[in-house]
Every structure is written in structure tokens, then in C-alpha cells.
Chains A and B, each alone.
Chain A
Amino acid sequence: MGKYILRRLLAAIPLLIIIAVFIFFGLKISGADPLAYLANDPRIRPSDRILLTARLGLNDPVPLQFVHWLIGDDWYERDVTGDGVKDEFGTRMGLLRGDFGESIRYRQPVIEIIAQFMPNTLLLGLTAYIATVLISMAVGIFAALRQYSVADNVITGVSFITFSMPIFFIALLSVQIFSVQFKAWHDAGASWLPYLPVQGMYDVRGDRSLDELIRHMILPVFCLSAINIAGYSRYIRATMLEVISSDYVRTARSKGLAERRITYLHALKNASLPIVTLIGLDAPFVLAGAVVTETIFSWPGMGRLFIQSLEPIDPPIVMVFVLMIAVAVVLTQILIDIIYAWLDPRIHYT
């Protein structure tokens, strides 16, 4: 097993290099000006801009810039004054030596900025994710055990419609109902009616209590999980149906085992194999933050950081953001295979 994991990790390296190259050159081709942030800053003189452009290595050939980004440029002497004489060494250490670069907008190491936004995204994303998995498991199993009943048909219908919704529609609709409309009723006299906040993590002049945080989380978590619950529960229903009709379940039943035991111990374990794949494929994307949801609810997370780093472009943040997700995807896929071997003893890796 150890050898297998090592081989998978080694195989991931070319993949990550392809991603890095693709994104790096993609950004260059799209003509993004990394100094766009400075354009509106009155303190920056045009001469400073020229100097900064040279210092950041933006005048170097693009492949060389990639090398510098990867392994640093402290060994590379370049001409920053434009007089044709090489006059100073770079200061960056490069990604492979643990230097993730410095954000142009925040003038701070990228790693610090990500450390600042990541917890918020994890809080929102993981809560939504756990809710998704638990609820869709419950709904999926419930529907599978009552195939073609009224309840099953209603669940099918609702999940089909929800699944076809763009997330912003769910978000705007829930804001309209639970925030705008509830507040209107609240103000009109129904003072017992609570309404939900829609902006950020805390109230503007709030006490930053846990209670306040939870109230701010309800709507974004709901929006993040709604579509996934619709998709997952369909999937879980399908795999459960397949397993329930298999021979070994019939054997278990004919041995006189309790129905409950059969469903949750015998059937669910095998039905969860494809579900593990599904979870594994989606889980790392939690890191990306729900770009749309975080934007609508002004949630200070990774998705919003990414959107804000796009225009004007902040390449160091964008590069690290994308690579971080790619690494997470690769690691989760290896993890899934290990879990697979544990769930299904027929699978062996050598």
C-alpha cells in the first residue's frame, strides 16, 4: 500500500506542472497587467511603475518568468534601471522553496492572505458539505426504501427542479423570502417573526457572538447545499435501489435479520462505494469557496478573494489559489482509493 501511495504521489507531479504551466501562460496570454492595481494609485509615479515592472521581472521572457516563479530569481541578475547594465539580483525564493509570492493588491505574502480567508470558507463550506451529505443520505435512503410511492415521486420532482436551478436563483429567492419579506412582515407588526441577515459574517455593529455568526450562516449554507442535496440524493437513491435488489441482501433477509440492520449495515456499506467517489470528487472544491454564494452574501472567503483578485488581476493570488485546489484534488483522489480498498476487500493495490 505504501508503495502504491508513493507511486500515485509521484504521478501527480507532472499533472501539477501541466496545471501550473497552463494557468501561468493562460494569464500571460489573456494580457492581464499585474500592475493594474497601481494604475489608480496617485502616489505611484510612472517612473516607479517602470522600475517595479523591471523588479518584478515582467520584462523577462515569459518562460523565464515561469522558472523564476517556480524556483525563485535570487540567482538571477537583471537590469532594472534600463541602462543596459545588470544591477541587482531578484528577491523571490520561488514556489518550490516555499515562497508563494506576494500579493500586488494587499502588499502581503499570499500565504498570509489565504490564511486569513481560508477559515471563513472552511467554516461555510464544511458546514454546508456535512449538511449535504447527511441530508442527502437520509433523503436518498428514505426514497429508495419507498420506491414509486407518493413521497418518492415528490422527492424526485423537487430534486429535479432544484437541480436545474442556478445557485444565484436559489440565493436570491431565499433572500427575497427570508430576509426581505420576513423583515417587511416583522416591521408590519409580526415582531415575533425573525428575519435573516444577508451580508457578511457578522452584523455591522454586532457583538460578533456565535449566535450572530450562525444567523449569518443559515442562508449561505442553505444555498450551498440545496443543489448538491438534490443531486446526491438522486444518486444515493439509485445505488441503494441497486444494492437492495441484490442477492446477498435477499440472503440476509431470508436469514431473518432485522430490516433496519439489513438496510444500514449490509446495503449501505456497499451502496456507499459510489457515494464515496462523488464526495471525493466534490470535497476539494470546498476550498475554492462557493464563488457565487460568497459573492451574493458578501462572505469574506476564498471564492470572493478569487473574484476580487481577477479584476484587476493579482497573479500571485490566482496562481496559488488554483494550484492549492489542484493539490487538494490530487490528494483526495488518492485518499478515495485508499477508502475504497477499505470498503471493498476485493480491491487490492500493489
Chain B
Amino acid sequence: MINMTVKKPGAEVASIKKKQATSLWLLSLRRFLKHRMAVAGTVLMILIILFVIGGAFFLTEDYSNKISLVEKFKPPSAAHPFGTDGVGRDILARAIWGGQISLLIGVISVTISIAVGTVVGLVSGFFGGWIDSLLMRFTEALLSIPALVLLLLFSRSLVGITATINVLGREFSSSTIFIVLIIGLLNWMRLARIVRSLVLTLKEQEFVTAATTLGARQGRIVFQHVLPNCIAPIIVTATLGIGNAIITEAYLSFLGFGVLPPTATWGNILTGAQSQLDEVPWVWMFPGLLIILTVLAINFIGDGLRDALDPRSTK
């Protein structure tokens, strides 16, 4: 059976108009919402954020740092749903307060590495010449060393930092700041390369030539014309980078080169029990699961964003 539908001319015009009104961002948002895993990841991420922020209203930070040696290595019970660690601190409370720090470390260090990576990539790609050679050799040099080795090398100097600082009424171990800086400053290389290669193709395109012909200054061309076209890969790299940074902090803390007590992170909750990890599974199980769920959620979101922000995507 042949099914012919005759559209009224007016209806067609209306649908075209509707399409024109859809911005690029709205289109991307629609594609993102169609990506089931990405939506699941977003929901999971919101739940985790609610857990680390909401939980703080029920259990105070003082409680999370309260040492009680009689209670050490108690398995999960009604009083301590996640059990207690080697000095009797409640792991649930530490997972809540430590989660805030872990997520913060992820977000701030990624902000740093995105800033550095973008600037290096833009400068290198746009100006070329000896600046490009120098920056890219340095990038390559850093990429030739395993990330964890590089991070350990620099975070070893944190050992013995016991000072605390006061931010917004909360006491932080000052090693937190150093860890954020170290992770941020040693993770920009891949993004720099991505941005550079994008800039190399972008700067040959007509709209850049047009802008140059119109007399736009180089700074304006870089930030107004080239940078906006690099936004999609930057957002994707940033998202996935947060998960990576959280895992990195956990590795460093696990090996004893991370954030130092009293500040808790998901990573350093399990360091206290290094020698007896196989006897006290709850000490690493709960923070470990939180790390996995967070990274999983972030990876799903990143995957969804990659599809959603791809301008060639027709979904």
C-alpha cells in the first residue's frame, strides 16, 4: 500500500522555523538526553553529590576525625554502617567528608590542567615556529614518562607536610593543595596536543582568513574564532579528566604519597590499613566502590557528551 501524505504548505514552514530556532547547545542537550547511559551516569553523579553534601548534615566533620582506639577495625554495624578504620574513625563519615575533597580535587585539578593544556595547545598551534617546537618537545618529554611515576616523583616532597590551612572555616591538610597542583600541572599534555592539532586545521580555514583580512588582532582571532571551535573536545577531555584525577589521587594516597591526615579523601581512607587490608575488607571496599561509581558515572557522562557535542552527529 502506498501511503501518501500531503502536507499543508503552512505546516512545512512552521517545522522549518522550529528547526531554525534550535541552537547548537539545545541540539546537543537533546542528543545527550537520548543517550541512555549518559543520563544514567548523570543521575548516578547527582546521587553521589547528594551523598557527600547531604551526608555532611547528619555526620559532622569532627565526628569523621574522631579517633577512638577501642573501636578500631570494627566491621560494619548499625552504629558504623561502613565499619571503622585503624584508629576507630567512622568510615561512613570519612567517606562523606573525604568524598567532598576527592570530588574537589578532581574538579580543581582538571580546571588547572584544562587551562594549561588549552593555552599550550593554542599558542603552539597558532604561532608555530620555535615556540611550537619548544612546547611540543616539552609535552613529548612529559608524555614519555609514565604519569604515575611523574606524579610520585613530585608528590614525594609532600611527605612530612603537616601544616593545616583554614579555608571557609574548615581545616585542610595543606598537602591537599599540593596534590591538586601536582595532578593539575602534570596532566595537561594530551589536551595540549588535541587542541594544537585542531588549531592547525582551524587556522587554515576561510573564517580565520576572513577575520585576519578584516584586521582582527591575533588575540581576538585566537579567543573569538579558534577557541570556540575547540570547545567540544575540551569539554569531553575535562569530564573524563575528573574521573582520572580522582583515581590518580587514590593511587597516590594508596601508595602513601597523597593527601595527608587529618583531611580524608576516598584514596587515603584505605592507606591506614595497608598492612592488614586482607583482614579488614570494609576499609577499602566502601571508599573503593564510591570511587568506581563516580568514575563510572563520569565516564558515561563523558561518552554521552562526546556523542552529543559532535557536530557531525545526526542523531
Residues of A within 8 A of B (CB): 14-15, 18-19, 22-23, 26-27, 30-32, 160-161, 163-169, 172-173, 175-176, 179-180, 198, 285, 288, 291-292, 295, 306-307, 310-311, 313, 318, 321-322, 325-326, 329-330
Contact = CB atoms under 8 A, between A and B. Distances in A.
Given A168-B251, A172-B284, A179-B278, A32 B156 contact: yes
A329 B147 CA distance: 13
Nearest to A281: B143
| Most chain A beta-carbon neighbours within 10 Å: one of B137, B159, B254 | B254
Contacts of A166: 247, 250-251, 254, 288, 291-292, 295
A311 B278 contact: no
B281 A325 contact: no
Interface string B250-292: 1100111100000000000010000001110100100010011
Interface residues of B, number: 37
Contacts of B142: 22
A31 B157 contact: yes
B149 A306 contact: yes
B138 interface: yes
A280 B111 CA distance: 30
B117 interface: no
B141 A160 contact: no
Q: Which 8 A-B pairs have the closest CB atoms?
A: A30-B157, A164-B295, A164-B296, A169-B288, A18-B141, A329-B144, A326-B144, A310-B156
A325 B146 contact: yes
B137 A14 contact: yes
Contacts of A288: 146, 148-149
B140 interface: yes
B269 to A, nearest CB: 12
B152 interface: yes
Contacts of A180: 278-279
B173 interface: no
B181 to A, nearest CB: 13
B144 A325 contact: yes
Given A14-B137, A15-B140, A291 B153 contact: no
Interface string B223-264: 000000000000000000001000100110011110000000
A322 B278 contact: no
Contact of B277 (A31, A165, A172, A322): A172
Given A164-B299, A166-B288, A292-B255, A310 B153 contact: yes
A322 B288 contact: no
A292 B254 contact: yes
B137 A27 contact: no
B292 A161 contact: yes
